[in-house]
């Protein structure tokens, strides 16, 4: 896994391509600068990762735990006791409390606690990214809206059931069990879930305003928090493949001899 950044979705617009002047539909993302808050190591935590924060939170709004997570100067009885007991305390970033904190699983982190990561540091040479966000909540929705079912007939003797799912049991794959299959599509909460959009092409990087312009739409409202990482899609069409995928056997087509 590769290190990414945290940020917000600013909104969509269109820009002209530098290459051939065509219009590109882009989503503007504001990413970072993200302070590194903690480095997780396999020895201590059982896994290795980098913890990043995004957006300062006023100190008066942050709870003590949030303040203590980033500041080394905060006094506490427990800390004193631990110091007295000879416990080595973790390094702190010494920044403002952060609103949005997430971890990226990184095998061998090269960053240090307290470092501030900007867009150009992470995405300078990246051609495609994955964006993780929270989709717009649509509330409790029926099967037609939530799953794209066709509903039941409007006429032909249909009585008061036009938007229902129809029969939910007695599916061939579940015969004889006497109850509907697990994971059956039904009405329920639609949206407001974590959604990942992979392999979005990077159109431009604006280091001055910490902006990343990606081609296409991403989930969520404008202003919602997002996680962006270099794409992990094997064989990305945008030219960058992070990890070497499974070794492929080269297919050699036998040429017909004369």
By C-beta, is 95 or 211 nearer to other proteins? Answer: 211
Question: By CB under 8 A, what part of segment 182-211 binds other proteins?
Answer: 204, 206, 209, 211
Among 27, 30, 1, 29, which Cα is nearest to 14's?
Answer: 27
Q: Least Å distance between CB 183 and other proteins?
A: 40
Neighbour order of strands in the sheet with 49-56: 98-105, 49-56, 34-40, 116-117
Q: Least Å distance between CB 15 and other proteins?
A: 6
By C-beta, is 79 or 204 nearer to other proteins? Answer: 204
> How many chain residues bind other proteins (CB under 8 A)?
19
Rounded Cα distance between 225 and 54, Å, is 9
Which residues face 230 on adjacent strands? 129
Contacts (Cβ under 8 Å, ≥6 apart) of 51: 36, 37, 38, 39, 40, 101, 102, 103
Q: Least Å distance between CB 8 and other proteins?
A: 10
Q: Please report whether residue 25 would count as binding other proteins according to CB under 8 A.
A: no
Q: Please report whether residue 23 would count as binding other proteins according to CB under 8 A.
A: yes
Q: Please report whether residue 6 would count as binding other proteins according to CB under 8 A.
A: no
Query: Would you tell me which residues interact with other proteins (CB under 8 A)?
Result: 10-11, 13-16, 20-23, 26, 28, 30, 204, 206, 209, 211, 213, 222
């Amino acid at each position: 896994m590769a290190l990414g950044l945290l940020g917000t979705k600013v909104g969509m617009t269109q820009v002209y391509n530098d290459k051939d002047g065509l219009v590109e539909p882009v989503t503007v993302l504001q990413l970072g600068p993200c302070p590194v808050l903690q480095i997780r190591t396999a020895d201590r935590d059982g896994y290795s990762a980098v913890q990043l924060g995004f957006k300062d939170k006023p100190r008066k709004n942050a709870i003590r735990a949030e303040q203590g997570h980033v500041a080394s100067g905060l006094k506490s009885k427990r800390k004193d006791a631990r110091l007295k007991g000879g416990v080595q305390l973790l390094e702190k970033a010494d920044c403002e409390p952060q609103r949005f904190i997430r971890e990226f699983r990184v095998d061998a982190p090269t960053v240090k606690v307290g470092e501030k990561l900007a867009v150009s540091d992470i995405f300078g040479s990246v051609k495609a990214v994955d964006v993780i966000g929270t989709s717009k909540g649509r509330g409790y929705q029926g099967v037609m809206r939530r799953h794209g079912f066709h509903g039941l007939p409007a006429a032909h003797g249909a009585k008061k059931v036009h938007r229902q799912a129809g029969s939910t049991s007695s599916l061939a794959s579940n015969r004889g069990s006497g109850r509907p299959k697990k994971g059956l599509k039904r009405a329920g909460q639609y949206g407001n879930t974590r959604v990942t959009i992979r392999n979005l092409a990077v159109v431009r990087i604006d280091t001055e305003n910490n902006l990343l312009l990606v081609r296409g739409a991403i989930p969520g409202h404008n202003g919602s928090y997002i996680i962006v990482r270099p794409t992990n899609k094997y064989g990305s069409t945008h030219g960058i493949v992070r990890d070497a995928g499974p070794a492929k056997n080269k297919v050699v087509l036998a040429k017909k001899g004369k």
